[in-house]
Amino acid sequence: MPRPINATISLDALRHNLSVVRRHAPRASVFAVIKANAYGHGVMRAARALVSAEGYALLELDAAVRLREAGYRQRIALLEGAFEPRDLVVAAEHGLAIAIHSQEQIRMLGSAPSDARFDVLLKINTGMNRLGIMPAEFGSVLGRLHGHPRVAQLTLMAHFATADDAHGVAWQMECLERLAAGSGLQRCLANSAAILRYPEAHADWVRPGVMLYGCSPFADVPAETLGLEPVMTLASELITVRELRPGDRIGYGGTFEATRPMRIGVVACGYADGYPRHAPTGTPIVVGGCRTRTLGRVSMDMLCADLSGIPAAQVGTPVMLWGQGLSADEVAAAAGTVSYELLCALAPRVPVIEV
């Protein structure tokens, strides 16, 4: 009998969340961000559900090639570009768009096949200080790429550091406008937070990521308030029920001690399944349709739930770790992390059910 844990992925929810993107950015084309195996949801599965997007954006060259070989003709962008010259050979063969964010990558273009012509997204560092051409270099770099024999199409790209908080995007937009004024080039700027909050940043292309998967990019705004639907539901069952006496402790380190008689349930889910090991006592969980809390440390294959007030709970009672009615955002916040990490951490051993 298989272990009672699975992740359900809703393709309808993916399509719905793309419609939310369209509603907020009706004039922009969409790069659906499906990096990191579509945030744990399955890159090919997500691509199929998001087929109406004008493009896909990811990091992994092999996944981009699989998309092309599966017949997807949309613009497919490698967000970190080529890491070595042979990547350019593959990108040219499959018509992939490549980000260029450094002088080294510009020099690498010279090693590409002589007949290669690339769709280039020139990434500008407007203040995040990760990847991107520095503002002082922009004019000379733009001149080199405009006349480069390997460049067929050029789009400007930047990434917002604070679109999800009070600092906003104006400071980075000002930098970009100063540099790109009069260039006439298309721009690809807005992440999920900017799509939802800053219409002035939508430009020509938007890059929705976490919102496509039904999570909020804002710490203080729930996904449901934004009209987003959870795509992944992680579910399991109780595999045993125990009666504790006052003074009994639970799990490794005995970090939770019962102060009264109580019932607890052991859930077939642990950090080897992708549940956060650092989730503390009190992290929300749903048992038999009733919201309750976790108790003690998360183990590799199990965690414990408080069954106080859930007298009907028994072996086999269903458990939801996150999904409809208990967002991954809420679980992540309780664990001191972000929903991105939870979704991406879904383990290969967890069966996936597509609905």
| Catalytic (active-site) positions | 35, 252
Question: Phi/psi class of residue 303: alpha, beta or left (left: φ > 0; alpha: ψ in -120 to 50)?
Answer: beta
112 bridge partner residues: none
Q: What share of the chain is helix, strand, coil (3-state, %, to 5)?
A: 30, 25, 45
Residues 43, 47, 53: CA angle, nearest 5 degrees: 140
Do residues 234 and 260 lie in contact, with contact meaning Cβ atoms separated by under 8 Å?
Answer: no
Give the torsion sign (CA, 289, 291, 296, 301). positive
Do residues 182 and 139 lie in contact, with contact meaning Cβ atoms separated by under 8 Å?
Answer: no
Amino acid at 273: D
Task: Extract the runs of DSSP E, i.e. beta strands, from the chain.
Answer: 6-9, 29-33, 55-58, 75-78, 97-100, 118-123, 151-157, 186-190, 205-206, 232-244, 249-250, 256-257, 262-267, 284-287, 290-295, 303-306, 318-322, 352-354
Q: What whole-number distance in Å separates Cα of residue 351 and Cα of residue 349?
A: 6
